[in-house]
Amino acid sequence: MLLLPQLAVTFVFFFWPAGQAIVQSVQGGDAFGLSTRFVALENFAVVLAEPAYLASVEVTLIFSFAVALLALAPGLLFAVMADRIVRGAAFYKTVLLLPYAVAPAIAGVLWLFLFNPSVGIIAVALRRAGVDWNYVLNGRQALLLVILAAAWKQIGYNFLFFLVGLQAIPKALLEASAIDGASTRRRFWTIVFPLLAPTSFFLLVVNIVYAFFDTFGIIHNVTQGGPAKATEILVYKVWYDGVVGLDLGSSAAQSVILMTIVIALTAIQFRFIERRVHYA
């Protein structure tokens, strides 16, 4: 009885739709949705063979890895720096964490403003420096822009987790290695980095999932998947094909594919965390 509300909502709004998505993915219909027939894995085959889909996969991969890298590296850097200071740590933490509170969509708008070909400050500076900046027309630049916006938002989150991970490393280990004669750099790479591995792995998965899904708002606000699909990541395509293009079967198939990817990623992460708990 206590569980009822949660179970009810979960069933109605989760299992049912998930099931429906699977069902729809094995159905095909005409454009008017007047009839559906069972087409088994045909939708999947079509989707996977579609050049647009493969292009989207490529975009998504580039996007996620770039975002992950650009968000993780500075996060780690700031965490290492913050770990060294005593005063002001709380202040830095608070400020660096702020972008977490900013909606992805808003983050997109902020960066859009900076890079807007006509009024954006950075855009103007770039043009003055000789770069022909116009992301509305240039697909690569558009991709760069959304990558920057997405990464900017995640840095704070990564920073926080890295900091916690760093502070969990027993000081005794570092002191022992200092006595052994290791320089700061050596210490970092041979002790700190390996001990941070679980945290890093965890954050990598989280960042990739973030890049896959939570960035919808950024894409939609800034580039709408353009120009010419240059920034159409997989989740955006699901929406676009389903809602704008009204191709339910294809959209559902894409959903299912995405579902599988996420489950795989989460499973890997859980498995790894299990192991981490054992050797911690």
Partner 1 sequence: MRTRRGIWIPHAVLLAGLALVLFPIYVAFVASSLTLRDILDAPMTLVPGPEIVANYRAALASGTVSTSGQPVAAMLLNSLVMALVIAIGKIAISLPSAYAVVFFRFPLRRVCFWGIFVTLMLPVEVRIIPTYKIAADLGLIDSYAGLTLPLVASATATLLFRQFFLTIPDELVEAAKIDGAGPWRFFIDTVIPLSRTNIAALFVILFIYGWNQYLWPLLVTDSPSMTTIVIGIRQMIANGDAQTAWHLVMATALLAMLPPVAVVLAMQRWFVVGLVETEK
Contacts with partner 1 in 164-193 (CB under 8 A)? 164, 178
Residue 225 within binding range of partner 1, rule CB under 8 A: no
**Rg of the chain, C-alpha, whole Å:** 23
Nearer to partner 1, 9 or 45 (CB): 9
d(Cα 65, Cα 152) in Å, to the nearest integer?
14
Work out which of 124, 144, 169, 191 binds partner 1, going by CB under 8 A. Answer: 124
Residue 126 within binding range of partner 1, rule CB under 8 A: no
Residue 151 within binding range of partner 1, rule CB under 8 A: no
Number of residues counted as binding partner 1 (CB under 8 A): 86
Residue 275 within binding range of partner 1, rule CB under 8 A: no
Work out which of 155, 196, 208, 230 binds partner 1, going by CB under 8 A. Answer: 155
What is the smallest separation between the CB atom of 136 and partner 1, expressed in angstroms? 9
d(Cα 29, Cα 106) in Å, to the nearest integer?
37
What is the smallest separation between the CB atom of 3 and partner 1, expressed in angstroms? 5
Work out which of 33, 88, 130, 181 binds partner 1, going by CB under 8 A. Answer: 88
d(Cα 111, Cα 32) in Å, to the nearest integer?
39
Beta bridge partners of 38: 27
User: How far is C-alpha 54 from the chain's CA centre?
Assistant: 19
Ramachandran region of residue 255, left (φ > 0), alpha (ψ -120 to 50) or beta?
alpha
**Which residues of the chain form beta strands (DSSP E)?**
27-29, 36-38
- Per the omega criterion (within 30 degrees of 0), is the bond before 227 cis? yes
**What does the block give as tokens for 168?**
């969990």
Q: Per CB under 8 A, which region of 6-14, 30-38, 39-47, 189-197 contacts partner 1?
A: 6-14
Residue 54 within binding range of partner 1, rule CB under 8 A: no
Contacting partner 1 within 103-122 (CB under 8 A): 103-107, 109-114, 118-121
Q: Per CB under 8 A, which region of 33-41, 50-58, 70-78, 189-197 contacts partner 1?
A: 70-78
d(Cα 8, Cα 145) in Å, to the nearest integer?
41
Contact 80, 66 (CB under 8 A): no
Give me the phi and psi of 274, to 5 degrees please. -50, -50
d(Cα 152, Cα 37) in Å, to the nearest integer?
45
Work out which of 44, 53, 63, 78 binds partner 1, going by CB under 8 A. Answer: 78
**What does the block give as tokens for 79?**
């965490």
Residue 57 within binding range of partner 1, rule CB under 8 A: no
What is the smallest separation between the CB atom of 99 and partner 1, expressed in angstroms? 6
What is the smallest separation between the CB atom of 162 and partner 1, expressed in angstroms? 11
Residue 238 within binding range of partner 1, rule CB under 8 A: yes
